[in-house]
Amino acid sequence: MVEQIAENKNRILEYMGRNLEKYGPDKMNVEEMGKLSDAIKDLAEAEKACWEAEYWRNVNEAMESAGYMPEGVGYPNGAGGQAMNGRMGYNPNRDSMGRYSRGRRGYHEGMDGIRAEMQSASPEEKEKLKRELRQILDM
């Protein structure tokens, strides 16, 4: 879908460029150009939203496959579902100040799980895990 949006946006840009060359800034239809520029703006925003949705889908999948996401939690601001126990923003691994708690599940337990998964993975699976972790770290 994002390719179609980008293609339509580019077609309108090309049309506007041809009209500007043909009529010049003094004789072109300003009202038409204003409507076309609004359409370009809307298509650019739709294209951006599609790319952001794709990005967050990839992040979500990478985090789920690495064991970082509790059931039902998805996209930023809870857009993918409810947090644990139905409480938005609740994380049982953190204390009241937002720090990871000692003695509870948290960062180190997740890392131990990744290490164990890497040790038992085939070379292809290891490469896939490395790519997913790099994507998470590049955020």
State mean pLDDT over 4-8: 91
What is the pLDDT confidence band of residue 110, given thresholds at 50, 70 and 90?
low
How would you class 128 by CB atoms within 10 Å of its CB: exposed for 0-12, middle for 13-18, buried for 19 or more? middle
Residue extents of the structural domains in the chain: 2-137
What share of the chain in percent tops pLDDT 70? Answer: 68
110 within 8 A of 103, measured Cβ to Cβ: no
* Length, in residues, of the chain: 139
Range list of β-strands (E), the chain: none
**To the nearest whole number, what is the mean pLDDT of the chain?**
77
* pLDDT, tens digit (0-9, with 9 covering 90-100), for 10-52: 999 999 999 888 888 888 888 898 899 999 999 999 999 999 9
Instruction: Return d(Cα 49, Cα 51) in angstroms, integer.
Output: 5
State mean pLDDT over 56-84: 65
Residue 47: which residues within 8 A CB-CB, separation 6 or more? 2, 5, 6, 9
